[in-house]
Chains A and B, each alone.
Chain A
Amino acid sequence: MRKLKLLREYLRGSGMTYLLSMLSVLLMTVFSSMVPLVIAFTVDYVIGDKPVELPAALASRIDVASGISTIRNNLWIILAVLVVITLLQGIFMYLKGKCSAVAAQASSKRMREKLYGHLQHLPFDYHVKVQTGDIIQRCTSDIETIQNFISTQSIEALQIILQVIVVLAVMIAMDLKYTLISILLIPIVFVITVRFFINMMKVFVRADEAEGHMTATLQENLAGVRVVKAFGAQNFEMEKFDEKNRTHRDLNMDIVRIMANFYGGTDLMCMLQHALVIAVGTYWVVRGQVTIGTVVAFSSYAGMLVWPLRNLGQMMGFMGQAFVSLGRIQEILDNKPEDYTTGETPPVQGEIVFEDVHFEYEKGKPVLDGATFRIEKGQTVAILGATGAGKSSLVHLLLRLYDYKKGSIRIDGVELKRISRQWIRKHIGIVLQEPFLFSKTIRENIGIGCGRVEEDRILAAARTACVDEAIQEFGMGYDTLVGERGVTLSGGQRQRIAIARTIIRDVPILIFDDSLSAVDAETDARIRKALRERRKDTTTIIISHRITTLAEADRILVLDQGRIIQSGTHEELIKVDGPYRRIWEIQSALGDEMEEMTV
């Protein structure tokens, strides 16, 4: 039931258009069912000499006999009537096609956008936990299944159902007994078809999987071509691929054979039904029970019932699939999006206070265990710590990607949990360790999220990030596309573009999450110098292992097992025993080693 509700939700807004297309389907069906009637009428009354039987009330007013003779003398009238009817049928057919496309496309557009927007606003935690491939599959092929259902299948199904009703009504009105003979085998064909395709769904899925396996093997082979070659494993790979290739072929050939049985069998029944209509009709004409025109009409009508109903059966078999897809999409929509906008929007200056902050991703495994420190506005603070010490978690909390459990984080005196997520993220710039660039031009990547940006600002940001020169070297400069369709950037280039993208926003708080590690020490120093010159009052947090980087900071925080174990300037820290001094001592020792050798 919930699935139906979801479906309704997407159709809402296109209700009128849908209604219009359904109305068109109805009218189109009415006119298309009239064509055999015109032919039958012509055969029986115009060409033949069967008298027209009209209700007495009508007969007295209309001079039927002279009407018929007028037609007999002007047979082009028949042609004109036929053309007019098909013209009307055609107009409604066009309207049906147009309206259903407008409605269906509008609703799948809505569905896609809703899903996309929803995914964007799901909490970070969700994105960490789900499998990307699975979600993408749902967003693409499942949506497509549903779109097919609403744009094509549902309208076609409706059309067939209406056609069956109208045609049956006309047939029954003409001759009930003959009608029963004409639909004798149809229910059997219909039931067989529905059941067949429901059963086949599983097999189709298996065939899709076989193709998937084959493609995956191929992809793996091509991406790992160096390994394949270096191990001389070409024969091995050929056998491996052949197995998948063969499975794919054999499975599909099995399907074809089953399909051949199905279509051969149902075709037989459908054609027998057709033959039955003609044979019985002929027999009854000879017996004088029906007219030739009726036989001609029924033979058309049989065709309008038999084949469409088999198609309907096929569609109903596939419809199950659309509901499965709906369920899979509903699962995504059931996840609660994070509250993005509510909360305070205080001015952000850049003072950050952590007070006894506790945080854990998994119960019983604290990542931050009472972290306490204070960063003044405009200060540059370096954070040092081993893998798993909690550095990234500090950043996650600051950006409200996660919320802390215990303790307090205050930005300029305001409790972080009360500040709107959107607001705080707009005021903190972060450069991630593995930055993600969008498949747009470099210019667009740097200016992303800033609306219209002047060229000067882009260039200035790129220069600060020491990436301007590298960009100029690309053939298209700032208009070079990033990613598969453009240039492949080195790790260092990606990071520097990400730095430019972050600093262009001129935020009061900047965080470098180990993001200078892919650039060499010299460039690292140049970037930091440029940053200092660019804006003096920016609070900067640098997570790094580089001693030279750390040493230059106003203050160094050493994080270990979720706590700050050391804090101070370089000069202060080398005076006390601790990790920082130990590292510094190693540096000195290395220096000594050099001296000793150069002597």
Chain B
Amino acid sequence: MYFEETEYGKRFDINVVKKLAAFAKPYKKTIITLMVQMLFLALVDALFPKLSQYAIDHFAVKKSLDGFWVFCLVAVGLVVIQAANVWLMIRNAGTIEYGIPYDMRKGVFKKLQELSISFYDRTSVGWLVSRMTSDINRIGITLSWHVVDFFWSIFLVIIMTVFMLVTDAGYALMVLCVVPALVIISMIFQKKILFNYRKVRKYNSQITAAFNEGITGAKTIKTLGIEDDMLAEFEKTTRQMRDFSVRAATVSSIYTPLIILLGSIATGLVLWKGGFEVSRNITSYGTLVLFISYAVQFFEPVKSFARVFTELQYTQAAAERVVTLLETENEIADSREVITRYGNMLDSDKSEWPKFHGHIVFKNVTFRYKEGENILENFNLEVRPGEKIALVGETGSGKTTIVNLACRFYEPTEGSILIDGVDYRERPLLWLYSNIGYVLQEPYLFSGTVKENIAYGRKETTMEDIVRAAKTVNAHDFIMRLEKGYDTQVGERGSRLSTGQKQLISFARAILSDPGMFVLDEATSSVDTETEHLIQDALNRALEGRTSFIIAHRLSTIRSADRILVIDKGRIIEEGTHRELLKKKGYYYRLYTNQLMEEQKKEAFVKA
């Protein structure tokens, strides 16, 4: 799935603000302190020109040092206060910048743990990662630094305006008359600049993607001999990047001169009026200097206000995405009755759990992912405790759906699934999950040590248990041959181990919890002969005495099953043992002669 992200937020959404406010609540004090601090920061910023004014009027013009030392003390005092304020402001903003995102990530992560598999089948990992990283980071920055900039610029503009009006309304008007132009130009340009910036980032990620493809596809590119075509195409992307970046830089370099020009017009106006009035002693030198300072000082807060204003729109879009994620309805969750009885999904009371026997019944199960496209229709199946079921059929026949339903990764659209005689929706999810031993087609390991992977998800596992599990599935010997034995790091997703080794470890992991039910999506990928045999042997031992569902690809696995179900278009078209099905000379027979035998031969060759 690919999502074209909405860049701008819709109209102001009160729900999003409420949700953000809930996250900001623990930091209420810090945020309020921060706002008050910004008031003082702005006040002192506006006071500095006042100091110059005072110095000029009281000492320089009058040629007297009366009170000069007191004045110096006040100035130094203000400087120290301002520096202390900056120090505290950065600390407070930082607390918010990283504190709120921490809480949000924690919250979203919890939500993600609860959401059902169907959600994950619709949503790409990359998309979720962007929500958790860039979107949440952006919210953190907005709630801290954008708030800082926003309040600072507003306070500073207000204070300066008041100071000017109080000092001299005539000069104040001279300075303020450029402000509307300042605001309009800033708004237009900041919007454009930020838009360009994001566009450049987009081109940049295209370049990254191109590098990625050029490097991971190196073998294919070489064997096709298309190095130069690839480079030519890459040059197209870099050319776009260059052209747009230059255009973006051009826009930015028009903005600043315009702003400075406005400042200088204001300064000139002040000097024009001042030159006349100061020489006639209508206005003091100090006042003139004060207004010259303010004329220049006005542009910084207006610029940062315009920037924050634009940034907010992007943050709004980011916040909307995060909030939507947080409010995603969970399709598979424990019912209220179950929660009352056993506790909530992530924290269930295990002492109340019933024993798991592994008697599974599909009763008139109909299932569809999309309206009007039934994958299963009135599907019935009874699996006795300890029975081994092999599911055979083409891709898309419904094998995986049956397994997904049995695991309660999905729930039946109609009908019900009974485990030990009770509809599984009346039992806690965690109870079922804790009783499943699950091995994926492509074994999935987490980065960490071999030991941690086998003991995955459980904290009170002894080393003996781990070794016993590893021995049961024939993993112990190869693990001991690894550099650091059980403490060997497996790398990201187990990348430092071979496929076969990963499979063995995932068997050990599945068997450690002594599950009542085993689900196995057998790998199609080939591993070396020796490992292949170890896996087969491990499989037999792992499945011993457990109810199991196997999406089978290997003949030996299928043969050892108690019952083979041949699935086609969501129905069981043939059912029985290997021998029984061969005799039927039906679908299974064809499958066997066409495909399964090939594998047998391949193996025989390698043995020979």
Given A119-B215, A245-B102, residue A299 in contact with residue B595 (CB < 8 A):
no
B242 engages A105 (CB within 8 Å):
yes
Q: Which B residues touch A438, using CB under 8 A?
A: 213, 217
Cβ 8 A contact of A216, one of B447, B582, B598: B447
> Mask for A520-559, Cβ within 8 A of B = 1, else 0?
1110000000000000000000000111100000000000
Q: Which A residues touch B125, using CB under 8 A?
A: 219, 222-223
How far apart are B3's CB and chain A's nearest CB, in angstroms? 10
5 closest Cβ pairs, A-B complex: A97-B253, A256-B94, A90-B257, A264-B87, A233-B457
B245 engages A105 (CB within 8 Å):
yes
Cβ 8 A contact of B97, one of A35, A256, A430: A256
B446 engages A230 (CB within 8 Å):
no
Residues of chain A from 213 to 254 with CB closer than 8 A to chain B in the complex: 214-216, 218-238, 241-242, 245-246, 248-249, 252-253
Please name 14 further chain A to chain B contacts, defined as beta carbons within 8 Å, in addition to the given A113-B235, A132-B215, A253-B99, sorted by A numbering: A35-B267, A46-B275, A48-B279, A100-B249, A116-B214, A117-B231, A124-B222, A218-B129, A256-B97, A286-B64, A340-B227, A432-B219, A484-B126, A582-B608
Q: A107 to B226, alpha carbons, bound, how many Å?
A: 25
Q: Which B residues touch A310, using CB under 8 A?
A: none
B87 engages A86 (CB within 8 Å):
no
How far apart are A431's CB and chain B's nearest CB, in angstroms? 9
A279 engages B94 (CB within 8 Å):
no
How far apart are A250's CB and chain B's nearest CB, in angstroms? 8
Q: Which B residues touch A43, using CB under 8 A?
A: 285, 288-289
Assess whether A144 is interfacial by the CB under 8 Å rule: yes
> Mask for A467-508, Cβ within 8 A of B = 1, else 0?
000000000000000001110001000000000011000000
Cβ 8 A contact of A101, one of B59, B87, B246, B456: B246
How far apart are A384's CB and chain B's nearest CB, in angstroms? 7
Given A94-B254, A490-B395, A583-B601, residue A232 in contact with residue B434 (CB < 8 A):
yes
Given A97-B252, A106-B242, A229-B433, residue A299 in contact with residue B601 (CB < 8 A):
no
B60 engages A234 (CB within 8 Å):
no
A120 engages B231 (CB within 8 Å):
yes
Residues of chain A from 173 to 205 with CB closer than 8 A to chain B in the complex: none
Q: Which residue of A lies closest to B437 (CB)?
A: A230
Q: List 28 A–B pairs whose Cβ atoms lie within 8 Å, in order of A's numbering.
A: A42-B271, A47-B274, A72-B275, A80-B268, A89-B260, A90-B257, A96-B253, A112-B238, A113-B235, A119-B215, A120-B221, A124-B218, A135-B215, A136-B212, A215-B133, A219-B129, A230-B407, A230-B436, A230-B519, A232-B434, A234-B113, A248-B98, A260-B90, A282-B56, A283-B59, A299-B52, A520-B595, A579-B608
Assess whether A20 is interfacial by the CB under 8 Å rule: no
Assess whether A275 is interfacial by the CB under 8 Å rule: yes
Assess whether B551 is interfacial by the CB under 8 Å rule: no
Residues of chain B from 33 to 75 with CB closer than 8 A to chain A in the complex: 48, 51-52, 55-56, 59-61, 63-65, 68, 71-72, 75
Assess whether A356 is interfacial by the CB under 8 Å rule: no
Cβ 8 A contact of B253, one of A94, A221, A282: A94
Assess whether B496 is interfacial by the CB under 8 Å rule: no
How far apart are B431's CB and chain A's nearest CB, in angstroms? 8
Assess whether B269 is interfacial by the CB under 8 Å rule: yes
A residues near B, CB below 8 A?
A: 35, 39, 42-43, 46-48, 72, 75-76, 78-83, 85-87, 89-91, 93-94, 96-98, 100-102, 105-106, 108-109, 112-113, 116-117, 119-121, 124, 127, 132, 135-136, 139-140, 144, 211, 214-216, 218-238, 241-242, 245-246, 248-249, 252-253, 255-257, 259-261, 263-265, 267-268, 271-272, 274-275, 278-279, 282-283, 285-286, 288, 292, 295-296, 299, 340, 384, 386-387, 399, 401, 422, 425-426, 428, 430, 432, 435-436, 438-439, 448-449, 484-486, 490, 501-502, 520-522, 545-548, 579, 582-583, 586-587, 590, 594, 597-598
Q: Which A residues touch B208, using CB under 8 A?
A: 136, 139-140
A223 engages B493 (CB within 8 Å):
yes
Q: A399 to B225, alpha carbons, bound, how many Å?
A: 10
Assess whether B480 is interfacial by the CB under 8 Å rule: no
Cβ 8 A contact of A546, one of B254, B346, B598: B598
> Which of B78-86, B311-319, B373-381 lines the interface with chain A?
B78-86
- Which residue of A223, A255, A426, A432 has the most chain B CB atoms within 10 A of its CB atom? A223
Q: Which A residues touch B106, using CB under 8 A?
A: 238, 241-242, 245
A223 engages B444 (CB within 8 Å):
yes
Q: Which A residues touch B113, using CB under 8 A?
A: 221, 228, 234, 237-238
How far apart are B607's CB and chain A's nearest CB, in angstroms? 9
Q: A135 to B211, alpha carbons, bound, how many Å?
A: 9
Q: Which A residues touch B252, using CB under 8 A?
A: 97
B246 engages A105 (CB within 8 Å):
yes
B87 engages A261 (CB within 8 Å):
yes
Q: A105 to B211, alpha carbons, bound, how many Å?
A: 18
B457 engages A231 (CB within 8 Å):
yes
B346 engages A234 (CB within 8 Å):
yes
Q: Which residue of A lies closest to B592 (CB)?
A: A594
B109 engages A238 (CB within 8 Å):
yes
Cβ 8 A contact of A220, one of B79, B224, B433, B492: B492
Q: Which residue of A lies closest to B244 (CB)?
A: A105
Given A47-B274, A47-B275, A260-B91, residue A120 in contact with residue B227 (CB < 8 A):
yes
How far apart are A516's CB and chain B's nearest CB, in angstroms? 11
B238 engages A256 (CB within 8 Å):
no
Q: A506 to B471, alpha carbons, bound, how many Å?
A: 54
Given A234-B346, A260-B88, residue A253 in contact with residue B94 (CB < 8 A):
yes
Q: Which residue of A lies closest to B227 (CB)?
A: A120
Q: A136 to B128, alpha carbons, bound, how many Å?
A: 22
Q: Which B residues touch A268, using CB under 8 A?
A: 79-80, 83
Q: A227 to B68, alpha carbons, bound, how many Å?
A: 75
Q: Which A residues touch B223, using CB under 8 A?
A: 399, 401, 425, 428, 430, 432
Assess whether B147 is interfacial by the CB under 8 Å rule: no
Q: A241 to B103, alpha carbons, bound, how many Å?
A: 12
Q: A449 to B509, alpha carbons, bound, how many Å?
A: 46
B76 engages A272 (CB within 8 Å):
yes
B275 engages A75 (CB within 8 Å):
yes
How far apart are A378's CB and chain B's nearest CB, in angstroms? 22
Q: A597 to B578, alpha carbons, bound, how many Å?
A: 11
Given A136-B215, A582-B608, residue A292 in contact with residue B226 (CB < 8 A):
no
Q: Which A residues touch B76, using CB under 8 A?
A: 272, 275
Residues of chain B from 321 to 380 with CB closer than 8 A to chain A in the complex: 345-347
Q: Which residue of B lies closest to A492 (CB)?
A: B395
How far apart are A497's CB and chain B's nearest CB, in angstroms? 12
Q: A387 to B498, alpha carbons, bound, how many Å?
A: 14
Q: Which B residues touch A108, using CB under 8 A?
A: 242
Given A94-B254, A264-B90, residue A72 in contact with residue B604 (CB < 8 A):
no
A39 engages B292 (CB within 8 Å):
yes
Q: A112 to B241, alpha carbons, bound, how many Å?
A: 11
Q: Which B residues touch A241, using CB under 8 A?
A: 105-106, 109
B94 engages A249 (CB within 8 Å):
no
Q: Which A residues touch B269, using CB under 8 A?
A: 79
Assess whether B256 is interfacial by the CB under 8 Å rule: yes
Q: A116 to B229, alpha carbons, bound, how many Å?
A: 12
Q: Which B residues touch A579, using CB under 8 A?
A: 605, 608
Q: Which A residues touch B221, using CB under 8 A?
A: 120
Q: Which B residues touch A139, using CB under 8 A?
A: 208, 211, 215
How far apart are B189's CB and chain A's nearest CB, in angstroms? 13
A230 engages B250 (CB within 8 Å):
no
Assess whether B204 is interfacial by the CB under 8 Å rule: yes
Q: A136 to B208, alpha carbons, bound, how many Å?
A: 8
Assess whether B309 is interfacial by the CB under 8 Å rule: no
How far apart are A259's CB and chain B's nearest CB, in angstroms? 6
Cβ 8 A contact of B219, one of A124, A136, A236, A485: A124
Cβ 8 A contact of A231, one of B99, B217, B433: B433
